[in-house]
Amino acid sequence: MSGSGHGQTMRITLKVWRQDNPSDKGGFQVVDVPGVSPEMSFLEMLDVVNGRLTESGDRPIVFDHDCREGICGSCGVIINGVAHGPERGTATCQLHMRKFSDGDTIAVEPWRAAAFPVIRDLAVDRSAFDRIVEAGGYISAPTGSAIDANMIPIPKPVADASMDAAQCIGCGACVAACPNSAAQLFTSAKLAHLNLMPQGQPERWARTEAMVETMEQFFGSCTNHGECQDACPKEISVDFIAMMNRDYVKSKRKNRQLLSQSI
């Protein structure tokens, strides 16, 4: 591979959150970062910073990442106050330094939400999302029990709407962007994915009640700010929240009815 750089480089000032452990108070560290190529992704810039910190005997910055293609949902930081940074519909790992200018100061912080405690530096614990899914975010279809796939035709618009919701990568930007740290967009996207499908109908009401109530144990309440939709790297629509709210109200009645029938 060739030598270093084939264009202009930039010098930026990084103001990055450092916190040694969950109970540490934490604070910003200011790092001067010369030699940033506009071709670098944001995380590659952090890689470069980490290399330099290590060489100078400092501890590298801890952050979560994996696919670096905007699909695994591991990455995610607040960049200058905005979840995943300035480019719409783009996860942190897909953001490139050409979106910034020479001389910029860039503030980087972890997701801020009570349900996502900071583990270290920029890494947070998002396992509350797994608890919501475990509560009912599935269709019970034990291995081996399925009928031929084409026995369940699904109108294309329904399948497409379901897929729009199913695209959620579970990064938590919606929670981080919400003034109330609510998880309505995440939960409603999973509910819509499953509740729209014919296969999802038998468990629809039980699923809705269980997932919404588990969500409420961990997260704040939605007051319709809509910041979640703007922060979502997959641009998932808040319309799914409206659908969840309707389903939840119905689920209370339906689940009682189902219960009384079974007695």
Partner 1 sequence: MTTTGYLDGKVPTGPIDEKWTSHKFNLKLVNPANKRKYDIIVVGTGLAGASAAASLGELGYNVKVFTFHDSPRRAHSIAAQGGINAAKNYKNDGDSVYRLFYDTVKGGDFRAREGNVYRLAEVSVDIIDQCAAQGVPFAREYSGLLDNRSFGGAQVSRTFYARGQTGQQLLLGAYQALARQVHAGSCTLYNRTEMLDLVVKDGKACGIVVRDLLTGEISRHSAHAVVLATGGYGNVFYLSTNAKGSNTTATWRAHKKGAFFANPCYTQIHPTCIPASDDFQSKLTLMSESLRNDGRIWVPKNPNDTRPAHQIPDEDRDYYLERRYPAFGNLVPRDVASRNSKTQVDEGRGVGPIKNGVYLDFGDSIDRLGRDVIEERYGNLFQMYERITDEDPYKMPMRIYPAVHYTMGGLWVDYNLMSNLPGLYVLGEANFSDHGANRLGASALMQGLADGYFVLPYTIGDYLAGMLGEKPVSTDDPVFAESENEVRDQIRRLLSVNGTRPVDSLYRELGVDIVWEHCGMARNQAGLTQAISDIRSLRDEFWTNVKITDQSESLNTSLEKALRVADFFEMAELMCKDALDREESCGGHFREEYQTEDGEALRNDDRFAYAAAWEWTGESGQQRLNKEELTFEYVKLAQRSYK
Kindly identify the residues of this chain, within the stretch 8-47, that bind partner 1 according to CB under 8 A: 20-21, 37-41, 43-44, 47
Distance CA(152)–CA(175), nearest Å, equals: 35
Residues 204-263 that bind partner 1 (CB under 8 A): none
Q: Which of 51, 40, 50, 44 is nearest to 9 (CA)?
A: 40
Q: Examine residue 73 and tell whether it contacts partner 1 (CB under 8 A).
A: yes
66 binds ligand FES (CB under 6 A): yes
47 and 35 in contact (C-beta within 8 Å)? no
Nearer to partner 1, 31 or 48 (CB): 48
Work out the number of other CB atoms within 10 angstroms of the CB of residue 26. Answer: 17
User: Judged by CB under 6 A, does residue 68 bind ligand FES?
Assistant: yes
Binding map of partner 1 across residues 88-117, x = CB under 8 A, - = no contact:
--x---x-x-x-------------------
CB nearer to ligand FES: pick between 76 and 220? 76
Number of neighbouring beta carbons within 10 Å of residue 263: 4
**Span of 29-37, 61-69, 128-136, 143-151 interacting with ligand FES by CB under 6 A:** 61-69
Is 45 a binding residue for ligand FES by CB under 6 A? The answer is no
- Tell me, by CB under 6 A, how many residues bind ligand FES: 14
Q: How far is the CB of 64 from ligand FES (least distance, A)?
A: 8
Using the minimum distance from each CB to partner 1, give the nearer residue, 22 or 253. 22
* Burial call 170-202: b when 16+ CB within 10 Å, e when fewer: bbbbbbbbbeebbbbbbbbbbbbbbbbbeebee
* Alpha carbons within 13 A on the beta-carbon side of 197: 19
Q: Provide the 3-class DSSP secondary structure of residue 80.
A: coil
Binding site for ligand FES (CB under 6 A): 65-68, 70-75, 91-93, 169
